[in-house]
Structures are given as structure tokens and as C-alpha cells.
Amino acid sequence: MSSQHYYNEIDPYCAAWLQNLMDAGHIPAGDIDTRSIEDVRPSDLAGHVQCHFFAGIGGWPLALALAGWPVDRPVWTGSCPCQPFSQAGKGAGFEDERHLWPAWQHHIAQCRPPVIFGEQVAGADVNPWIDLVHSDLEGMAHAFGCVAFPSASI
């Protein structure tokens, strides 16, 4: 991988969408890795200034651009799957195979990015997950802030 920007997205449709956005100049060009985050090694991330996990259709790079975040300023973003904790999911929580925070937390612990932005569905079912992320990040000496707001306010 050779770019300063790294996108991790396992869904083929979303990965193709990311490529289309890059080709059109809407998000920074970068490397799209379609492996599961569980198969990514921390060494695979070396040299990348911005890393976007669970990249979807590029919402984080667009949000960063709209906020005036420079494309060469280090940042990691991620939107861990919400299905394990969403009311629309099966309610399996931490036992759900889509609970991928431990994999992302491992990469954060190994690579020590200076700034991390994430998001998760709001609701009482997700509070234990937020507590875990909060504890893990503060345990790695990262400041942590969290705000819950309804999707209707976006």
C-alpha cells in the first residue's frame, strides 16, 4: 500500500463506491483494503496519515473535509458495526461476531494514532459498549468525549 489514506471496508459495493468517490475527487485518493479488520495487521497501517475503518461510503472523509480538517493531518475514524447493540439487531451484544471494537482497539493500541473519531448508534443497549470504548481509550491515555443525539438531528 502506498497512499497516505487508508480505507478499510469489507462490503464490495461500498468499496466500489469509495473508489468512485476517489476517482471523482470527492474524497482523498487512497488504498482500499477489503479484508476484515480482524485480518489487518498493525504493520499494514504504517505510513498512512489518515485511516478510515468501517469506511462505508466515505462519510468520515467528507465530514473531515467539511470541518476543514487538512488531508495531511493524522486522524483515524471508524464506525463500528451497530447491529450487535442496535434495537434493530439480534441483541447479541458482546457475543455477536460483528462486535469488532476489540479488533479496532488492538490497532489503536499498537499504532497509537493521535486523534480518533468514531460513532455508534445511540440507545440504552449501546451504553455498555460506550463504557468499554471509553475505558479502553482512556486506558491508552486518549481523552474521550461522547455525545448522544438522534439521527433526526443530522
- Reply yes or no on whether the pLDDT at 1 is more than 50: no
Q: What is the pLDDT of residues 66-109, one digit of tens each?
A: 999 999 999 999 988 878 777 777 778 788 788 899 999 999 99
| Three-state SS at 136 | helix
- The set of cell numbers assigned to 51 is 485511516
Q: How far apart are CA 146 and CA 45, in angstroms?
A: 26
Residue with cell 438531528: 153
Q: What residues form DSSP beta bridges with 6? A: 31, 51
- Reply yes or no on whether the pLDDT at 144 is more than 70: yes
- The set of cell numbers assigned to 129 is 459498549
Q: What is the pLDDT of residues 16-50, one digit of tens each?
A: 999 999 999 999 999 999 999 999 999 999 999 99
pLDDT at 154: 64
Whether pTM > 0.75 for this model: the answer is: yes
- Reply yes or no on whether the pLDDT at 132 is more than 80: yes
CB 133 within 8 A of CB 84: no
State mean pLDDT over 115-136: 87
Q: How far apart are CA 110 and CA 83, in angstroms?
A: 26
Higher local confidence (pLDDT), 61 or 121: 61
- The set of cell numbers assigned to 135 is 475505558
